Amino acid sequence: MKLTNQWCAAVLLALAAAGCSQGHKTAADVDWALHGLDAGEKRFSALEEITPGNVSELKVAWYADFDARSLRGVEGTPIVVDGVMYASGPWSKVLALDAVSGRKLWEFDPEIDGAVARKGCCDVVNRGVAYAQGKVIVSVLDGRLIALDARTGKPVWSVQTTDKDKSYTITGAPRVVKDKVVIGNGGAEYGVRGYVTAYDIATGRQAWRFYTVPGDPKKGFENKAMEMAAGTWSGEWWKYGGGGTAWDSMAYDADLDLLYIGVGNGGPWDYKLRSQGKGDNLFVSSIVALRPSTGEYVWHFQEVPGDEWDYTATQHMILADLTIDSKPRKVLMQAPKNGHFYVLDRTNGQFISGTPYVPVSWTTGLDPKTGRPNIVPAARYSTTGEPFMGLPSPAGGHSWQPMSFNPNTGLVYFPIAEMAYPYVSDKPGAFRYDPRGWNTGQDPARSSMPEDPAIRAEIGKSVKGALIAWDPVKRRKVWSVPLDTPWNGGVLSTASGLVFEGNGTGEFAAYDATNGRKLWSINLDSGVVAPPITYSVRGVQYISVAVGWGGILPLNMGAALDKAQLPKVNRVVTFRLGGTGKLPVLPAEQSMPFDPPAVTASDAVIARGRTLFHTRCWMCHGDTGVNKGGVPDLRMSAMIGDKAAFAGFVLQGAAEPRGMPNFGKDLSPEETEAIRAYVIKRANDLKAERGKR
Ligand code: CA
């Protein structure tokens, strides 16, 4: 029962750690044309019609629903150009909407094969489109990049940016830099080698590709940077891909002509499997600066040498000018998963500061000169062979949800999560690389949560979420608004002194930027994770947010999301002062009679099913079977009582068009029955828990 003790230790650790402008500028038409509003991605709007004084009059102007196959996560930043909004939803579908009325102008469906869903860890989300040269450019989950005619929504060009035989996916937004569009990809947990590629906007022709980790040295290196990086790896990492996928953040400085990319974790996670437990493994968990015309390497800063905790550096980067020690500095700011808020000199990658913004257990701090972390020996679980309770968890102290920087207050606003996770290497020799499967090298039986309700309740108490305001110069939290879940929305701030953010309970709220006081809120019928935007058309300021609950935590860590609002809608909702739109009233939920089938399997079969469930099923159906996203919580599914129907889903792909993989080549009928036995056991656990309430 070592793991139980690890969990209890984590609970204790976590518990212990535990000017507004009055001006009313007449706004002309103001677009939100770039993903992060400006190329430095501050997500700070100069619009001032909506103020702390009148935000209470903010009302719905209009809403528009995504055409979703099912209610899956919505993480997109809509963009607005010349009075038209382009918003992306689940399955990389795009809506073009009149930004004043919400009237649908066109919609685009890339018609993704549902089988692609198994290649993605974290829901079939899309974080937004790009606009340039009269084209709307959308990245597609299956690895395509498609340019649409902005007037008609018809494809102008389409390129496959990934090898379809490997488990690459794309969820990030493309970024436009001069005459090129740049896109990365995801899949570090699935055995791929990361890269970003630039394409010519006019033609879709590839301009350059920059790999983020080295390939097989025997095949030669693509460039000097890869040769240098290869010196920081050991063993035969290329056989497992190596990871380092750049799946979300980029930013561009036009004066310096530098493109910054955030690079993800190593793959497999287990450092011993990946690189014999040796070397820094560049450019895993690094920020890399590239020359955008050629893709040439300029500098890098590695946050986590030899990462084995999924501590990606793919989180949002903000470029700003700060005065630090009385000197003006051109900085790059990031609050990556690893729990430290970084301030770098973006001209050369030099470390300025790095400060924990949540409790961290993997390091005792960063070297004040170099920023290199002092990693605690126990955190090296692949070397010690012992489980390590990590803070933050692989979901991060902060994940992809965009931050916002208000130059007037000098504060960065972003959502944080406090949550622990037990990192446990798989048994020696147990790892089998599977190009179609999960390749982290973790022990699925021991890295999952214990089923004991008392321990789970204690773990639940240690999980926290908040919206915080961070001073990047004084390196401290200025205010914090506790939230009811650890998975919440991206952030917008405005020059009038407002901060907007949605959260996991379905609330969308406006806060005072100086002190975090809540000034306005509305319930939007689903948890909100996407970041809001603002724009103005004919002098009227609008606030808009895409609504839809999903992403990694709702799918795989439902146990941490007791107070979340389950997904009921996938839509864009837009507000203005005195808006007269109405949200539809949803039908009352039916409470279904809950009577799971009796447990008939032996303890041994259930234990085997538990391991198989946490190898094949948990990423979407939830750790220990608890799901709070848009994928069925199997404990409450009538199907678990029907052996043939269950096998039809698992072994024959009955729901593959909706994204449920066909495991016919991966699981035997007996293994499928063991999984069903485990889920039936969990359904009975749920019945017993409900009986006690
Ligand atoms: Ca990852």
Q: Residue 592's pLDDT is what?
A: 66
Residue 283 to residues 163, 240, 279, 309, 604: CA-CA distances in angstroms? 21, 16, 11, 15, 43
Count the domains in the chain.
Answer: 1
Domain for residue 667, yes or no?
A: yes
Sheet of 84-88: strand order equals 79-81, 84-88, 94-98, 104-108
Q: How many CB atoms lie within 10 A of CB 638?
A: 11
Q: Judge whether 630 lies within some domain.
A: yes
- SS3 for 351? strand
Nearest residue to 129 (alpha-carbon basis) of 172, 97, 158, 170 = 172
310 an active-site residue? yes
Look at the pTM and tell me if it is higher than 0.85: yes
∠ CA 258-260-265, rounded to 5°: 155
Token output for 529: 């994770």
Q: Cα-flanking dihedrals φ and ψ of residue 180, to 5°?
A: -125, 155
In a domain? residue 620? yes
What CATH code is carried by the domain that includes residue 649? 1.10.760.10
Domain-located, residue 35 = no
Q: Decide if 340 is inside a domain.
A: no
Residue 25 CA to ligand 1 centre (angstroms): 44
Q: How far is the CA of 175 from the centre of ligand 1 (A)?
A: 21
- Whether 385 is in a domain gets the answer no
Cis preceding-peptide flag for 392 (omega within 30 of 0): yes
CA of 516 to the centre of ligand 1 (A): 31
The percent of the chain in helix, strand and coil, each rounded to the nearest 5, is: 20, 30, 50
Specify burial of residue 642 (Cβ count, 10 A radius: 0-12, 13-18, 19+). middle
Chain-centroid distance of CA 98 in Å reads 28
List of the chain residues with pLDDT < 70 = 1-27, 68-69, 591-593, 693
pLDDT of 16 reads 40
CB atoms under 10 Å from CB of 480, counted, come to 14
- The angle formed by the CA atoms of residues 631, 678 and 669, to the nearest 5 degrees, is 90
Amino acid 319: pLDDT: 98
Is 656 inside a domain boundary? yes
From the candidates 142, 270, 310, 685, give the one annotated as an active-site residue: 310
| Residue at token pair 């009582």 | 641
Residue 213 Cα to ligand 1 midpoint, Å, equals: 15
Please list all protein residues whose beta carbon sits less than 5 angstroms from ligand 1, which is an ion: 188, 265, 310
Q: What pLDDT is attached to residue 693?
A: 66
pLDDT at position 69 is: 66
Is 633 within the bounds of a domain?
yes
pLDDT at 608: 97
Structure tokens at 606: 């259930």
Separation of CA 269 and ligand 1 centre (Å): 8
Distance CA 136, CA 174 (A): 10
Dist CA 564 CA 558 (whole Å): 9
Helix, coil or strand: residue 8:
helix
**Domain coverage including residue 616:** 603-691
